[in-house]
Structure 1
């Protein structure tokens, strides 16, 4: 795997143009396209001039990078990107996205803020919301964009009444960073944690507890509801003011940490450590790790639909589109890997066909791992069948190459050992009484010397028998001219020639049988790999569903404790649906279905392999996988 990419400086990823359109910066897209490692994507959003860039620089491990600015002008336009090696996860890349500040008076466009916000969420595995002061009603109001996600984002391509419930499966963890926080963390005269402070702030307000308009209270609660429903993992950090000196605050990308308040420095360090430890790899379709290349495609597709059209961005459609791209690449990469391994390891001709089978099996196993690692959501096994077809074609090419190498070498050996025989025939040495016995002795010596030669390959016996058969006309001519042979001896020699024909046929049939066995083994290898991958993916999905169930349970218990029976009932219904979905994943009927589809595909790709010859019966599979 390639080393992690480290950009020397941030680069604009999504440009916010003057005409209100957005475009992906080709240079940034090219950088992402070269990152084959899984990525952890951390985005930061919030009002402009609230110090978002400072936190991103700390995550990048530098003092200066993203432009902090020191004026009332919003510095960051669009979305800026910085890719660095992940500090704690080996062979992973940390992608930091600094977004345009919300509420920029120069833009004055609410839809602009909403699109930037949505794009950051769709790309991230962790979303940092940066604000100043306490989590009061004003702070909650500024997050009302969350309640408008459903207008711009769809989970499924078909209409689904429960779409908002499914958002939480695709949304990142939510981290609220409170800057310049000066309050005591207390509630009802008891000390509380930062997370408890956040959860208390997100509790629904009761109409009877306030004199405000019930409709206004309902609107406020709708925002809280959305935050709780969409972001199942929530975290809060509070930061002291970095300094009492205004000039120092305006030059934070220049001053040393010693000039900042120790508490602020410690809080920033704690924030970074949490992100490094808990922000997970960005996932596609809940379980498939996103690489830099895939992230680049996500950026392009979401920007095109979300930013520059009136259509809602459909997560399912984007996943399908990227899966097709990745599956095509998986077929190509695995095929090339097989060729590379065969070219590196082959020593043609192989001594036996078994030796060739072992070689190609080893290379095929490694190529299959490459394909299985990269491919995903190949529901009809279209790309897997294409991969199998490619490998079988390449394998046949190498088989023929091995065969031809053996034939050429063996024919050359026969030619070298036949020189004396050819000279004797030319001199007429065998056209006399007893000539046939001399000829037979010469042929015996040729065969003996030939058989002692090493590394003749899989065609050694076939070439020898073909040579003997090629001597048939000469043999009969010498035999007939030898008056010392009886008719009975001549008849015996003719029977030997018939045996040679039979021997050649048997040798070729043996090779074809071995090829059929290799095809059967290849099909079994592919079916077993698919079963193992499908089983593992179902296990991962069950774990993800259980995590969602647990988060729903926490919300349900909270609403129940607050006497909000309607919300508690809604979450209970969602949990029941999730449990049913989880149980469906345990159903073992998928084994029979998968085997039938792949077996059929194997027959199309490998015509010599029938369902019986596959040797992977359903009873064997159930025993193997204990289902």
Structure 2
């Protein structure tokens, strides 16, 4: 696993083993050891090796170097295996360093969509440019001058000259054009080229790894410096289809997905890989987001009972944090499956119930303690004598006032008091009718007074519930607004990433069309016009995803409101079954 958030991935796909590029890469990255390199045609490494180094210019990034040095080993005699390795390197990389021009196998070994419809396969062939890495051609041991038709040219101009197509329909012309056409079709402009002279004198070529910088040819060092600066500054973070950035863990998952697909005899599909990757990443996103919520709310639980404002504000705070954590990692949650899982895990209703039960327990214990002396006096018969009812009411009202002054009783203070007073109603009524000091009329007056007091207490309980519900609803509304804001930002970011992919493809196709028109390939230019029109149409329609993506999420998050509002009613209904 690459231990960082963002990674620029570079591929070196070489068909010859001996390369001074590796030796000087060691110098530029200040790496003291690496993989063995041979000085013969026999490869020292097989398949793809990976080398991760801290990015020299971008904090929080890792430069991942992939090398397919084993390609072209005649001892293996397996060109099909080489083709799969090369395709795997292209799928994993954000920058492709290639020598020589051999990219025509890509269309046979990579798919964008999981479809077998011929027309769609031809259409997706034109979309590789959206998702393939940037292309840099590395020409080694160059001894000629960069002159074309008597005019000195740049390295990049030399590459475009080398990629020019020939007119004709013969097999020789087709074989010549095929790899060049593939590079032009699949890899976006601008393409780069670096022409390296021989790195050292002939006698030193067999021991490049042990050479010091002073032993290398100055011209070679100059080109290498420009080359490394280009890689360090222009290699972008690896992304998957849709623009989601790849971390070290995701890169590992990508390797597993593609290798398993190849080993099963199937062709790697970008869409399938993204779906599989999204499922893995979204599961982790839910777990990490819920963990952040859980840790925060556990601290609140330790303080139960608390007021509704306290629990609602804490829920809102940690829910926002959890949503933010989810948004950082999740992608392509188009059916809102994982967002709903996160919301289901954030047990707000359960917390409200736990807080209510904690409040009820605290209030009952408090009343039991406050009434302990009065209960003793009741047992001793102090309220059974003449004038006992007046004494009973005075003691009871004093205790109620003490109860109300007690802080931090939670959300059920009035409800528990109302329940308690109603439970003691028969007791008060018995004392009232045994008090010989009172006349019949006095008893009726006191009885009416008692009823009014209980009604007043019932009103206080209902008012307490109303205020609690209003505050819960308001807090939940604010939480949803925050969640929708984050969803909107997430959507805008993903839409921007998708449109950047399309803009890059459109720009590349426009340049290619202009080149084809200049060289007289009108039919190819017409085909490019169709591809450009399709890309522009797709870009325009992508903005309509708002109704399909963001708005349904509003309904999904709103589903929790009735549950929160009615949780007490539901809880009591279940209790009475």
TM-score (structure 1 length as normaliser): 0.83
Q: Is the counterpart of residue 270 in structure 1 residue 218 in structure 2?
A: no
For the 8 Å contact 1:178–1:238, the answer to whether it is kept is yes
Q: Residue 553 of structure 1: CA displacement?
A: 0.9
CA distance in 1, matches of 2:388, 2:56: 86
Residue of structure 1 equivalent to 2:379? 426
Residue of structure 2 equivalent to 1:623? none
Residue of structure 2 equivalent to 1:65? 34
* Structure 1 residues 261 and 594: CA distance shift in structure 2, 3 A: closer
For the 8 Å contact 1:64–1:254, the answer to whether it is kept is no
Residue of structure 2 equivalent to 1:489? 446
Three-state SS of the structure 2 residue aligned to 1:162 is: helix
Residue of structure 2 equivalent to 1:286? 242
Q: Residue 444 of structure 1: CA displacement?
A: 2.6
* Structure 1 residues 89 and 461: CA distance shift in structure 2, 3 A: farther
Return 419-428 or 353-362, whichever deviates more: 419-428
Residue of structure 1 equivalent to 2:281? 326
Residues 237-260 of structure 1: CA distance to partner in whole angstroms, max 9, x if unpaired? 1222221142x3322222221222
Matches within 5 A, 1:514-593: 514-587=471-544, 590-593=545-548
CA distance in 2, matches of 1:556, 1:609: 59
Out of 176, 183, 186, the position equivalent to 2:144 is 183
CA distance in 2, matches of 1:97, 1:595: 38
For the 8 Å contact 2:250–2:277, the answer to whether it is kept is yes
User: CA-atom RMSD, angstroms?
Assistant: 2.4
Q: Residue 300 of structure 1: CA displacement?
A: 1.0
**Larger RCO (CA under 8 A, 6+ residues apart):** 2
Residue of structure 1 equivalent to 2:429? 476
Out of 192, 195, 199, the position equivalent to 1:238 is 195
Residue of structure 1 equivalent to 2:318? 363
TM-score (structure 2 length as normaliser): 0.90
Matches within 5 A, 1:18-167: 31=1, 35=3, 37-51=5-19, 53-54=22-23, 57-58=26-27, 60-130=29-99, 139-140=100-101, 143=102, 146-158=103-115, 159=117, 160=120, 161-167=122-128
For the 8 Å contact 1:177–1:239, the answer to whether it is kept is yes
Three-state SS of the structure 1 residue aligned to 2:323 is: helix
Q: Unpaired segments of 5 or more residues in structure 1?
A: 1-30, 131-138, 208-212, 611-627
Q: Is the counterpart of residue 218 in structure 1 residue 178 in structure 2?
A: no
Out of 437, 449, 458, the position equivalent to 2:390 is 437
Residue of structure 2 equivalent to 1:174? 135
For the 8 Å contact 1:472–1:497, the answer to whether it is kept is no
Residue of structure 1 equivalent to 2:205? 249
Return 317-326 or 85-94, whichever deviates more: 85-94
* Structure 1 residues 56 and 115: CA distance shift in structure 2, 3 A: farther
Q: Is the counterpart of residue 448 in structure 1 residue 401 in structure 2?
A: yes
CA distance in 2, matches of 1:427, 1:174: 97
Q: Residue 75 of structure 1: CA displacement?
A: 0.6
Q: Residue 278 of structure 1: CA displacement?
A: 1.0
Q: Residue 85 of structure 1: CA displacement?
A: 2.4
Residue of structure 2 equivalent to 1:407? 360
CA distance in 2, matches of 1:346, 1:56: 55
Count of matched residue positions in the alignment of Structure 1 and Structure 2 = 555
Return 481-490 or 326-335, whichever deviates more: 481-490
* Structure 1 residues 263 and 484: CA distance shift in structure 2, 3 A: farther
Residue of structure 2 equivalent to 1:316? 271
For the 8 Å contact 2:41–2:73, the answer to whether it is kept is no
Q: Residue 607 of structure 1: CA displacement?
A: 4.5
For the 8 Å contact 2:199–2:216, the answer to whether it is kept is yes
Residues 522-564 of structure 1: CA distance to partner in whole angstroms, max 9, x if unpaired? 4444344323322332222222212211111111111111111
* Structure 1 residues 521 and 484: CA distance shift in structure 2, 3 A: farther
CA distance in 2, matches of 1:599, 1:37: 30
